[in-house]
Amino acid sequence: MTGTRAPRDSGAALLTILLIVAVMSVAALAALDSLGRSLNLSRISSERSQALWAARSTEAVGATAIRRLEDLGLEAMSNPETFREPITLPFDRGVIQASIQDASNCFNLNSITGEPDNVADMQFQELLVALGFFRNNARELSDALADWIDDDTVPRTFGAEDGYYTTLDTPYRPANSQLVNITELRAVRGFTPEVIAQIAPLVCVRAATYQPWLNIDTMTEDQAPLLVALYSDELSTEDARTVIRARPVSGWQSRQAFVDNSVIKAIAEPARRDSLLMTRPSHVRLTALIVSGSSRETLDLVYEVGKGSAPRLVQRSTGAF
């Protein structure tokens, strides 16, 4: 005699089947989500890799472009219009948008070596005063930076060494070496975010311990404090702006043409450093935005130029945003 399944047993079996189906559905969704994430990570990784290779290529392309500008001669390299045209370079699944600027007109912070009678100390102070700092504040900032860079532990009159930095809430020691990046200034006593923002347009960090020449053919009125620093307090900021405004439309034909300006000629010879003025760049900056799919990378390259050899990459920084 064949028995019949009780309704209660059938309902329990159906419920079990439904639970199994639900569990399998959740597992399938989780597996699909995991697969999707894996594919997305793979895609992002591929785009990131392409962006990095594009960045590496940009360095070589930048050197070639700058070299070609040099080959065009002094007129091309000293003409501000040369540096206003952006460069667009497409590549597989992406594009590079680059621009080239003259990077000569800035004060090299690493020229402050901390050595006795280092003329750069005074020039930096004059630059700060021309930017609106009180002279005593300028002295404090200059001494603090010199102590940060020099290799001893003896503080200057208005400087700071281990004795100051090791007593902070989060203690640390000064680098006692050259700056690598301008952001290091945040660790130096007195260089608040406001101070750094004020001086940033006119300062730079170069590996060399000397001040590279300034390009008087691309100098703007906003960069007038650089001339004030160069000529000490013998040149006022307004006089520096006057000289910059006097630049011929075609540019200064030579450094001597600039020096022959009546304002500059009036400055006593001992206070002048005409040798640091040129009518061509000493450094050129290439900035690039590299887009590959959803990956966006920024690249900032600085080349040393004008020394008769191929452009030399002296600074590189990257970032993502």
Model confidence pLDDT, tens digit, residues 49-66? 666 666 666 777 777 777
Span 187-194, average pLDDT = 96
Span 36-57, average pLDDT = 58
CA-to-CA distance for 205 and 188, rounded, in angstroms? Answer: 15
The CATH number of the domain covering residues in 108-204: 1.10.40.60
CA-to-CA distance for 107 and 229, rounded, in angstroms? Answer: 9
CA-to-CA distance for 247 and 250, rounded, in angstroms? Answer: 8
All CATH 1.10.40.60 domain ranges in the chain, comma separated: 108-204
**Confidence band, pLDDT 50/70/90 cuts, at residue 145:** very high
* Sequence-ordered list of residues with C-beta below 8 angstroms from that of 1, at least 6 positions apart, any chain: none
**Confidence band, pLDDT 50/70/90 cuts, at residue 73:** low
**What is the pLDDT at residue 234?**
84
Beta strands in 156-258 (DSSP E): 203-204, 214-215
Query: 135-149 and 119-130 are packed helices; what angle lies between their axes, rounded to 10 degrees?
Result: 140
**What is the pLDDT at residue 64?**
76
Q: Is 298 or 72 the better-scoring residue by pLDDT?
A: 298
The strand pairing partners of 288, in sequence order, are: 98, 299
pTM for this predicted structure: 0.78
State the virtual CA torsion across 298, 304, 306, 310 in degrees, nearest 10: -90
Contact indicator for 57, 288 with CB cutoff of 8 Å: no
* 3-17, 142-156, 214-228: least confident range: 3-17
**Half-sphere exposure of residue 136: CA atoms within 13 angstroms, side-chain side:** 0
Look up residue 49 and give its two tokens.
Answer: 């890799």
Task: Determine phi and psi for 132, rounding to 5 degrees.
Answer: 105, 5
**What is the pLDDT at residue 321?**
34
**Confidence band, pLDDT 50/70/90 cuts, at residue 22:** low
Span 280-303, average pLDDT = 84
The length of the chain in residues reads 321
The architecture CATH gives domain 68-103+282-318: 2-Layer Sandwich (3.30)
All CATH 3.30.1300.30 domain ranges in the chain, comma separated: 68-103+282-318
On average, the pLDDT of the chain sits at: 82
* 19-23, 171-175, 192-196, 283-287: least confident range: 19-23
- Does pLDDT of 200 surpass 80? yes
Beta strands in the chain (DSSP E): 87-91, 94-102, 107-108, 203-204, 214-215, 277-278, 283-292, 295-304, 312-320
Span 119-144, average pLDDT = 95
